[in-house]
Amino acid sequence: MSNLSVHIDGRELSVPAGQTLNDFFKDHEDLRNHDAVAAYLDGEVIDFHTALPHGGTIRLIMADSPEALPIIRHSTAHVMAEAVQRLFPGTKVTIGPPIENGFYYDFDSEHVFTPEDLRAIEKEMKNIIKRNDIFERSMVSSEEAKRIFREKNEDYKVELIEDLGVDEVSFYTQGEWFDLCRGPHVPRAKRIKAFKLMSVAGAYWRGDENRKMLQRIYGTAFATKEELDEYLNFLEEAKKRDHRVLGKQLELFMFNDEAGAGFPIFLPRGMRLRTVLEEWEKKEHYKRGYEIVSGPTLLKQDLWVRSGHWDHYRENMYFTQIDETGYGVKPMNCLSHMLIFKSKTRSFRDLPQRYFELGLVHRHEMSGVLNGLLRVRAFTQDDAHIICMPEQLPGEIKGVIRFVQDVMNIFGFDYKLEISTRPEKAIGDDEIWEQATNALKSALDDLDLPYEINEGDGAFYGPKIDVKLMDCLKREWQCATVQCDFALPERFELEYVGSDNATHRPVMIHRVILGSVERFLGVLTEHFAGAFPLWISPVQAVVMTISEKSVDYGHKVAETMQAAGFRVEADLRDEKIGKKIAEWREQKVPYMLVVGEKEAQENRVAPRTRSGETLEPMSLSDFMQRMQSEVDSKAL
């Protein structure tokens, strides 16, 4: 059998095919302290107890690499499953994969797991890790594997093997415990150094609501305790910033079961916030040559059939009937905008036409994915459609990207770009898809912006650029998108008269900048932890009186500021000023204006900031100038 070359620490060594990496490292005393958890054999992941099947090149997967995390977490899931079955005999195991931020395992148990149980399971996991068992792989015939699991009363495993439809399956054994598993796993249990069980949730077997409800235990694991601590601190910070909690605390929005899940209700302060945002965005669109339009919420079903939404998006839509005619509730605004374009003859001199709409749309989201403002069933899109000549396409795409860049800079967001290509189900031929995709790539190349390719994730009518913004915790959010569409102008027979007096087919760009206004507000709330910049803060200042003697002056200050266009509230309660200040700091109001008899006599205010800074007393006019300067600069 041929030998394999092993590259480690800049050295090239040789190992016979058929030997395991574990045996190899036993023969190389000087390499025993390496920190690898698995390896690539010609690009395929193998673990240390798998016999090397053929010659090739091996690259070790070191514990501190991103590639190691799923392996560490998968192994930790196995340790957890063993601990659960030790502590709760009769529990059946199902599946336990690694996921983005950790791992989970689904269990069928008569015992209902509690937070106290998680602590006991963690303790037992540590005992198992101390044994330092090998994670050893073996191949077993499917018939033998089913016999073994039937004897253990593990009927879920039997079902999995039957569905695989293969002659043999792989087992992984750690000590006396084993499980059906593809692997790979860490070499030994002590390679698991830092883990934490997080929560328990319900989960239907194989995601089918008609099957049994199981108990899912979530956990996470990292290569080092420092990384685990950093992640747990991140979760604590994210918890403090949860927009659902802050939305209630700051009285921005609410949900009500009587209204229905996924339908947000905005409270007065929340509407102030979104109104400022929307009015600002309207001005920004006017500055860039857009016209604001508005289309109906309901459109005839025939239009949705013609557009392709009926075939490709129907499950995400709501439908109704009026006078025995079918109608669809719009999930997007493009159809009305195309009808506007078709309402009269267009010349090449009229192009591009840029239509902008803050349009309320509805999409049928499953109840399990609803998440505050981040995933709702009714939301407002800052939707625009640019209908232009094909030769205008590069310039228009670049104009949209520059618009996105301006907005990201205003709010202090970093971002990255992805181009999503043709999905499996799509309309239009390959030629127009290639033309559209190349237009998006060329625009980003001309702007010298890096991007990744996301194969097969485009809209059914065209490829798109997705802008993933990153908040202060480095979490990614999908907001802005730019879609290039040759197909719908063809289906709706859009035309313009060219310089040759002949009719030509335009191309359409679908684009959003903020995306869903609701989602963007949720992201903003978490990004700023509810402490919004002054220019968009729903309450910019609160006037608070020291005693009843200054109530009239407090009224006057609040009314003067409101008349000047500032969003101000007045706290005139007969309450200690220290308590008022503490309460309004909890409301994250940028400025608190303390007024007493002295301030009333001198026509001044004593400002405090939400960060705790006390400013020198100043005249009301000077303070309003300070605020206006901060608003105009859109300081963060």
Residues 6+ apart with CB under 8 A from 350: 496
- How far apart are alpha carbons 477 and 427 in whole angstroms? 28
Report the phi/psi class of residue 296: left, alpha or beta, with left for phi > 0 and alpha for psi in -120 to 50: beta
- Res 58: pLDDT: 74
pLDDT band at residue 20, thresholds of 50, 70 and 90? confident
Q: Is the pLDDT of residue 509 over 90?
A: yes
Q: Classify domain 541-633 at the CATH topology level.
A: Rossmann fold (3.40.50)
- Range with lowest mean pLDDT among 33-37, 117-121, 625-629: 33-37
**pLDDT tens-place string over residues 231-253:** 999 999 999 999 999 999 999 99
| 6-15, 362-371, 560-569, range with greatest mean pLDDT | 560-569
Residue 38, classified by CB atoms within 10 Å of its CB into exposed (0-12), middle (13-18) or buried (19+), is: buried
- Res 182: pLDDT: 87
Q: Is the pLDDT of residue 173 over 60?
A: yes
- Res 44: pLDDT: 82
- Res 527: pLDDT: 94
The whole-number average pLDDT for the span 89-110 is 93
Q: Tell me which CATH code domain 68-237 carries.
A: 3.30.980.10
Q: Between these two residues, 428 and 605, which has the higher pLDDT value? A: 605
Q: Between these two residues, 53 and 480, which has the higher pLDDT value? A: 480
pLDDT band at residue 41, thresholds of 50, 70 and 90? confident
- Res 292: pLDDT: 97
- Res 29: pLDDT: 61
Known catalytic residues are 334, 363, 381, 383, 385, 464, 510
Q: Is the pLDDT of residue 633 over 70?
A: yes
Its pTM surpasses 0.85: no
Q: Tell me which CATH code domain 253-295+334-527 carries.
A: 3.30.930.10
Mean pLDDT (the chain, rounded): 92
Q: Which residue type is seen at 51?
A: A
Residue 145, classified by CB atoms within 10 Å of its CB into exposed (0-12), middle (13-18) or buried (19+), is: buried
- Res 39: pLDDT: 83
Q: Between these two residues, 425 and 337, which has the higher pLDDT value? A: 337
The one-character DSSP state at 189 is G
- Res 609: pLDDT: 96
> Domain segments of the chain: what residues?
3-62, 68-237, 253-295+334-527, 541-633
The whole-number average pLDDT for the span 512-524 is 96
The whole-number average pLDDT for the span 159-166 is 92
Return the closest-CA partner of residue 463 out of 438, 492, 488.
438
- How far apart are alpha carbons 58 and 24 in whole angstroms? 12
Task: Specify whether the CB–CB gap between 205 and 95 falls below 8 A.
Answer: no
- Res 11: pLDDT: 66
Q: Which residue type is seen at 363?
A: R
The CATH superfamily holding the domain 3-62 is: Beta-grasp domain (3.10.20.30)
**pLDDT tens-place string over residues 394-431:** 999 999 999 999 999 999 999 999 999 999 888 888 88
The whole-number average pLDDT for the span 530-544 is 97
**pLDDT tens-place string over residues 309-334:** 999 999 999 999 999 999 999 999 99
Q: Between these two residues, 56 and 76, which has the higher pLDDT value? A: 76
The whole-number average pLDDT for the span 451-456 is 92
The one-character DSSP state at 167 is S
